[in-house]
């Protein structure tokens, strides 16, 4: 495991910074163009949620490696209001953009692994992994 | 499946090459078929763009770098389409599941609310009841009393679909609990009103007309709870009149009382009961007039009652381009002898 590199998300512009850093790491790890684009989109969704629904938060990246594969981990952490009903948010067709297929269910589709922990009034922690093929 | 994709990918490259050289229609037809196969195998738009990029790179290794960048840009632009496509796919599957659940519920409803048209000497009855969607919010029910009388309920829940249908099951069970013959229309409505008032959501209303036909006296007793008025056909004069009804919709006030009316039915006369799905049929943007319904009914006067209602239904179904907006229930009762 490599040390984390993080981007603080506060302004909309910070989303671009997070995408850039994530893409650079993905490229170095040898992800193809399609996967790079998917990873960048997932980062956008997570960072946009921090920007829209919380004061600030962080998007961090980590490379994990086990015996036979390498993966890019995206961690989104904030101390915002939290998500009350995660089950509902993960339902298709629920996001406010309605029918664009993005939002958190979109992140889950773009990545290989996805996990949300959230507590109302405390914050939200989302972890998503993409494995290099 | 991966083999299919590899094959299609190779095919795509060949077709592309051929098209660039000749611009012929055959390669375009070819790519149409490949594209269909991609859709069938859930290949997302960004993957197709990527395939295109790779094919170009193989065919034209000396391709300009600027052009390559533009293709990468296009790929990025496709990612969200891919997501939207996957969401639609998922929602489509869900919708399919819901549909099949509803169709099970609808057939349960048919069993629960089923009523058989009774055979009564000297009386010709026709009934048609068709839901606009899968589940019916209209309801009709026949009860044959021990005294030879025939009870007929026709009701409509304001609202359509599943909630309306659930509501009707409750009405049906309340009615089943009443003693078979002793009940008069006005007391039945009074009773049902209390059931509805107590058990149904305040936003839901039910209208009902309850009629009791006494074959020996050739009389119809009836009372209405805000239901669409029916019609009476006088065979001798050849005229229709609206059946007078007054009464509050079920479930509005707990102590509603219902007025009961009496109608003498002569030989050949008809009583027509219906729901607003019939009177609110539309021809384009125009609501039809009740005269039109009566004219259509009259034009089938010589047929048995069941064939009459079937024909009338067919007429209005066609007028509305085979898409009912509301549940449609029409009942005709004719004294034969
Ligand atoms: N980090 C977060 N903190 C608090 N609430 C969040 C956070 N992320 C998401 N939410 C809540 O979950 C909901 C769903 O988020 P999601 O990203 O799936 O869709 P959206 O942001 O509403 O719309 P879209 O992302 O499609 O534009 C949001 O509307 C928001 O209420
Ligand atoms: Mg969002």
Closest ligand to A78 CA? 1
From B197, B184, B139, B147, select the one nearest B165 (Cα to Cα).
B139
CA-to-CA distance for B134 and B99, rounded, in angstroms?
9
Q: What average pLDDT score do residues B22-43 get?
A: 93
Q: Which of B42, B57, B83 to mutate to test the interface with A (most CBs of A within 10 A)?
A: B83
Over chain B, what is the mean pLDDT? 90
**B97 contacts chain A (CB < 8 A):** no
Q: Report CA(A103)–ligand 1 centroid distance (Å).
A: 6
Q: What average pLDDT score do residues B61-84 get?
A: 95
Please say whether the beta carbons of A13 and A51 come within 8 A. Answer: no
pLDDT by residue (tens digit) across B93-127? 999 999 999 889 888 888 888 888 999 889 999 99
Share of chain A above pLDDT 90, in %: 82
* pLDDT greater than 90 at residue A42: yes
* A101 contacts on B by Cβ (under 8 Å): 80, 83-88
pLDDT value, residue B1: 54
From B190, B120, B130, select the one nearest B151 (Cα to Cα).
B120
Q: How confident is the model at residue A99 (pLDDT cuts 50, 70, 90)?
A: low
**B71 contacts chain A (CB < 8 A):** no
Nearest CA to ligand 1 atom 11: A83
Q: What average pLDDT score do residues A23-42 get?
A: 96
Q: What average pLDDT score do residues B237-261 get?
A: 92
Taken in order of first residue, the domains within chain A and their CATH numbers are 4-131 (3.30.565.10)
CA-to-CA distance for B197 and B251, rounded, in angstroms?
4
Structure tokens at A37: 């684009």
Q: How confident is the model at residue A2 (pLDDT cuts 50, 70, 90)?
A: low
Q: What average pLDDT score do residues B298-320 get?
A: 93
* pLDDT greater than 80 at residue A97: no
Structure tokens at B256: 């509603």
* pLDDT greater than 90 at residue A102: no
**A90 contacts chain B (CB < 8 A):** no
pLDDT by residue (tens digit) across A108-123? 999 999 999 999 999 9
ipTM for the predicted complex comes to 0.87
From A101, A105, A108, select the one nearest B86 (Cα to Cα).
A101
Topology given in CATH for the domain delimited by B114-335: Phosphatase 2c; domain 1 (3.60.40)
Cβ(A96) to ligand 1 under 6 A?
yes
* A107 contacts on B by Cβ (under 8 Å): none
Question: DSSP labels for A60-107?
Answer: EEEEEE-SS-EEEEEEEEE-SS--S-HHHHTSTT-STT-SS--HHHHH
Task: Give the start-to-end residue ranges of the domains of chain B.
Answer: 2-94, 114-335
pLDDT value, residue B282: 75
Cβ(A54) to ligand 1 under 6 A?
yes
Q: What average pLDDT score do residues B290-299 get?
A: 89
pLDDT value, residue B68: 94
Q: What average pLDDT score do residues B46-75 get?
A: 95
pLDDT value, residue A54: 97
Query: Which of A33, A93, A106 has the CB atom closest to B83's CB atom?
Result: A106
pLDDT value, residue B160: 65
* pLDDT greater than 90 at residue A47: yes
pLDDT value, residue B159: 67
pLDDT by residue (tens digit) across B167-180? 888 888 888 888 76
Task: Write the CA distances from A49 to A10, A13, B293, integer angstroms.
Answer: 11, 13, 58
Query: Which of B47, B76, B80 has the CB atom closest to A102's CB atom?
Result: B80
* pLDDT greater than 80 at residue B220: yes
Task: Write the CA distances from A25 to A16, A28, B97, B109, B177, integer angstroms.
Answer: 14, 5, 41, 59, 73
Q: Mention the CATH class of domain B2-94.
A: mainly alpha
* pLDDT greater than 80 at residue B72: yes
**B77 contacts chain A (CB < 8 A):** no
pLDDT by residue (tens digit) across B131-159? 888 888 889 999 888 888 899 999 998 86
Contacts for A57 with CB less than 8 Å, ≥ 6 apart: A8, A9, A50, A76, A77, A78, A79, A80, A123, A124
């Amino acid at each position: 495991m490599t040390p984390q590199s993080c981007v603080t998300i506060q302004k909309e512009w910070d989303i671009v910074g997070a995408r850039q850093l994530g893409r650079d790491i993905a490229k170095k790890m040898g992800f193809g163009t399609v996967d790079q684009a998917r990873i960048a989109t997932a980062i956008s969704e997570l960072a946009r949620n921090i920007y829209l629904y919380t004061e600030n938060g962080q998007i961090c990246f980590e490379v994990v490696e086990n015996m036979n594969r390498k993966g890019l981990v995206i961690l989104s952490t904030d101390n915002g209001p939290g998500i009350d009903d995660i089950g509902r948010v993960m339902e298709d067709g629920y996001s406010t953009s309605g029918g664009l297929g993005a939002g958190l269910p979109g992140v889950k589709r773009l990545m290989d692994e996805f996990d949300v922990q959230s507590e109302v009034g405390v914050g939200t922690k989302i972890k998503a992994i993409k494995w290099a093929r | 499946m991966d083999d299919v994709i590899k094959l299609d990918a190779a095919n795509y490259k060949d077709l592309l090459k051929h098209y660039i050289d000749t611009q012929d229609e055959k390669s375009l037809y070819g790519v149409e078929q490949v594209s269909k196969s991609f859709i069938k195998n859930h290949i997302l738009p960004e993957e197709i763009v990527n395939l295109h990029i790779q094919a170009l790179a193989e065919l034209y290794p000396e391709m300009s770098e600027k052009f390559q960048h533009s293709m990468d840009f296009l790929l990025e632009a496709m990612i969200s389409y891919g997501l939207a496509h996957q969401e639609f796919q998922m929602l489509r599957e869900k919708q399919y599941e819901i549909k099949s659940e509803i169709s099970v519920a609808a057939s349960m409803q048919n069993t629960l609310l089923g009523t058989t048209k009774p055979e009564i000497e000297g009386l010709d009855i026709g009934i048609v009841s068709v839901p606009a969607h899968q589940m019916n919010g209209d309801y009709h029910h026949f009860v044959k009393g021990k005294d030879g009388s025939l009870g007929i309920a026709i009701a409509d829940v304001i609202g359509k679909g599943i909630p309306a249908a659930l509501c009707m099951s409750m009405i049906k069970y309340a009615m089943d609990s009443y003693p078979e013959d002793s009940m008069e229309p006005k007391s039945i409505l009074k009773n049902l009103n209390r059931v509805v008032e107590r058990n149904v959501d305040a936003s839901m209303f039910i209208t009902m007309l309850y009629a009791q036909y006494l074959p020996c006296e050739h009389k119809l007793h009836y009372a209405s709870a805000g239901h669409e008025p029916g019609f009476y056909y006088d065979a001798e004069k050849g005229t229709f009149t609206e059946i007078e009804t007054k009464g509050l919709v079920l479930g509005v006030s707990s102590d509603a009382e219902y007025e009961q009316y009496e109608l003498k039915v002569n030989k050949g006369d008809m009583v027509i009961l219906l729901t607003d799905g019939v009177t609110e049929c539309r021809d384009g943007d125009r609501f039809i007039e009740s005269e039109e319904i009566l004219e259509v009914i009259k034009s089938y006067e010589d047929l048995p009652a069941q064939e009459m209602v079937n024909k009338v239904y067919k007429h209005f179904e066609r007028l509305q381009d085979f898409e009912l907006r509301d549940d449609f229930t029409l009942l005709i009762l004719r004294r034969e002898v």
